[in-house]
Structure 1
């Protein structure tokens, strides 16, 4: 039998694509090697040029679709292939939902060792466009003018000027504010930050909008350089767009890609905006986490409430509670709620949100969940329900161990990453907690991301 010649960068191959990777690229096998090709879709045959070869896989760049799937569509956005924000704009929306359900099932089996967990079809959106209530934009200089937009993936090169080419995922009123802010930045002759020389003032602009209230916050992320016209510019932004109720300068001296720094200065208006979600009112500060798709957030949170199955007298722990959104929703149906959160500003907002909603059965604690929860359990905390909504990296082992010590009868887990969700569910299942139902929710249409909510029941619990 002839020995196969290994692929090398520059080789052009034809490949049958059989699936999608977790970041949305097509996956096939060539001479026994997994090949990842962004832009390729399952059931297609493609030509690709090999760009990178590793020990167990290679990456290729799509040259031509030889055989096309009926699920392929033309992306609405001309920058979709370059900016990296919409990995799946070339895939029919219903096919995306099917893919995301399959992705969750595969992760549970492959990573968690869980083969029989019911995974419901992913809940999609009737209109999956203009859903984002927040946007981060990079500032760059072009022909003597500031431009606000997205960098091409892995670069500091602008791929789309948002004032000229509207992002189809972002709320349209936010796009209007972007155009006004860009115009004013140029009229004030503000210099953008240069990533090579490390010189300049403006690094990013972040804009967030209350879905129900329409209140808008503009955050100007800058270096620590002295800025004499900051308040005058802020007043002009408010005058130009009356829905802007908060203009904040955030100072970030970190040399990396971290968007926000630790210091905020209110230049005009308030230090926060407000929004309403699931019949509750929430205060949102610049650094606080708040879901970016409000319509689907209500779907997700109501499903979490359903899975909680509260009767009215339970003690609930909401770990990674953020500004208290889920905690506040649960508090209307439980005896008491304890919220744990590491970000100080988020805890301040959470306490204010409880007061705004006349919820007096919630207590919030500031600190890492991996420290606070074990300490509380050691002091005798025995909740009836634990809700987990960790960051993408999932739960630390100290958190899972503390849950096991409580012998809590029910756990509800909200996750933005199927891989870390599967890992943690596998650990809990091995210790006696049975995942009863998984509900994926499409919080991020046209991207490869999917959110899930799961409930687990401790064996032998009523």
Structure 2
């Protein structure tokens, strides 16, 4: 076998047989040649596969399965390669039971390795009864391919669009809406965005669906404000999709990977759709953060609420409160809820959602949580429970220190990234708050993402 200049065991385009020993955090199989790891999509531990090497680095390579000598009992044979290549459903070649076990093991590994909690119990992952067709939101790129407007998804680590109609993990009505909208856009000669030439206009179509309400919002993300015959386009969309209660234009003039622009124009109906979560009704705008899996969000939030063991006299702080979903879900069980969020639009939505649900024992404030915490301390607000649900990057040390100063009995930590979760648990532990056990909840079946919740007690 030819070696490259760095004397690696394999070079690009080599074909080798390997036994899959493990999975990476993002679900790729790991096979080794002379202890040199090759990361391979659509491969499961225990399988022996022939692999073509696609790319090498000093420490590892990427490969593609050419054929199987042995297959795992955890394999699903009906595999759609586009869902793996684009990252839409990179784990759908595994049985759902195997996916849940993989996610449990990922959480347990990082809690031990990063957090140093060797004895901390990680419960079995809470899964879904039907682990497909669950997403209530789609963000679909639009491009021209062979002189036609196409919807699809980019291949991993590229800007090459793969045309797709069945996205597998989206609620069926969303896929049906995309199929209905496409010929309308073609009929009115809407120009898809061309990234290379910075031409065309329509960059993305975003669709949100109320899981219980069935209301649909269509967001057309455009490079320019002017869209020829936009009124007629909206009329045509509503005629074929009667569940559409909102059509919004988002103007995105910059050339970057951000989906939505900063300017929003209401083209038809309301500026929001409504949906229910744990008995409350929420208004969801084009830019609102709202969990994409309603069924599992209810399980996740109920787990957090149950673990908090709330009393009627409790004061609760909902940090990273967003549009108020967690705080408002538990408000009727406690004396008072204080919410804080750095995004002003989200706080405005939270206040509206409190009004809609006739919930009066809540206060929402805009600002950095650690700053607002100090203000609340000065006002002698003393919470019994603090709930945190941060973005993927986790909590800052300044936030953790500020939250500890509040001297709450419990801190409920909801996380969408096990690594930052484990890191933050260690910081809390050093400051006197100890976790009880970790409950993973599968919010994103068929993908490698996992949510966790734990209770830290002082």
Residue of structure 1 in register with 2:346 after alignment: 346
The counterpart of 1:77, out of the listed 77, 80, 84, is 80
Residue of structure 2 in register with 1:115 after alignment: 118
Q: Secondary structure at the match of 2:149?
A: strand
Q: Secondary structure at the match of 2:333?
A: coil
Cα distance in 2 between the residues matched to 1:142 and 1:49: 28
Post-superposition CA distance 1:394-447 (Å, at most 9, x none)? 111111111122222101111111111111111111221111021111111111
Unpaired segments ≥5 residues, structure 2: 1-5
Alpha-carbon offset, residue 371 of structure 1: 3.9
Alpha-carbon offset, residue 311 of structure 1: 0.6
Residue of structure 2 in register with 1:439 after alignment: 439
TM-score (norm 2): 0.95
Matching of residue 58 in structure 1 with residue 61 in structure 2: yes
Cα distance in 2 between the residues matched to 1:20 and 1:64: 18
Between stretches 304-313 and 44-53, larger displacement belongs to: 44-53
The counterpart of 2:129, out of the listed 126, 135, 153, is 126
Question: In the alignment, is the contact (CA less than 8 A) between 1:7 and 1:53 conserved in 2?
Answer: no
Post-superposition CA distance 1:207-231 (Å, at most 9, x none)? 0100111111000000124224222
Change (3 A) 1:371 1:232: farther
Alpha-carbon offset, residue 43 of structure 1: 1.5
Residue of structure 2 in register with 1:9 after alignment: 11
Equivalenced residues, count: 452
Residue of structure 1 in register with 2:417 after alignment: 417
Residue of structure 2 in register with 1:333 after alignment: 333
Alpha-carbon offset, residue 5 of structure 1: 5.3
Alpha-carbon offset, residue 379 of structure 1: 5.4
Cα distance in 1 between the residues matched to 2:164 and 2:129: 28
Cα distance in 2 between the residues matched to 1:322 and 1:275: 15
Matching of residue 214 in structure 1 with residue 214 in structure 2: yes
Cα distance in 2 between the residues matched to 1:122 and 1:375: 38
Question: In the alignment, is the contact (CA less than 8 A) between 2:55 and 2:61 conserved in 1?
Answer: yes
Alpha-carbon offset, residue 172 of structure 1: 1.0
- Provide runs of 4+ in structure 1 moved above 6 Å: none
Q: Secondary structure at the match of 1:365?
A: strand
Post-superposition CA distance 1:360-389 (Å, at most 9, x none)? 111111223344334444654431111010
Matching of residue 199 in structure 1 with residue 185 in structure 2: no
Between stretches 318-327 and 64-73, larger displacement belongs to: 64-73
Post-superposition CA distance 1:128-169 (Å, at most 9, x none)? 12111111111111343311121222223221332xxx2211
The counterpart of 2:105, out of the listed 99, 102, 105, is 102
Cα distance in 1 between the residues matched to 2:333 and 2:440: 24
Between stretches 329-338 and 376-385, larger displacement belongs to: 376-385
Change (3 A) 1:28 1:144: closer
Matches within 5 A, 1:312-323: 312-323=312-323
Between stretches 32-41 and 253-262, larger displacement belongs to: 32-41
Residue of structure 2 in register with 1:39 after alignment: 42
Question: In the alignment, is the contact (CA less than 8 A) between 2:150 and 2:163 conserved in 1?
Answer: no
Alpha-carbon offset, residue 85 of structure 1: 1.1
Question: In the alignment, is the contact (CA less than 8 A) between 1:374 and 1:398 conserved in 2?
Answer: no
Matches within 5 A, 1:288-327: 288-327=288-327
Alpha-carbon offset, residue 304 of structure 1: 0.8
Give the alignment's Cα RMSD to 1 decimal. 1.7
Between stretches 268-277 and 61-70, larger displacement belongs to: 61-70
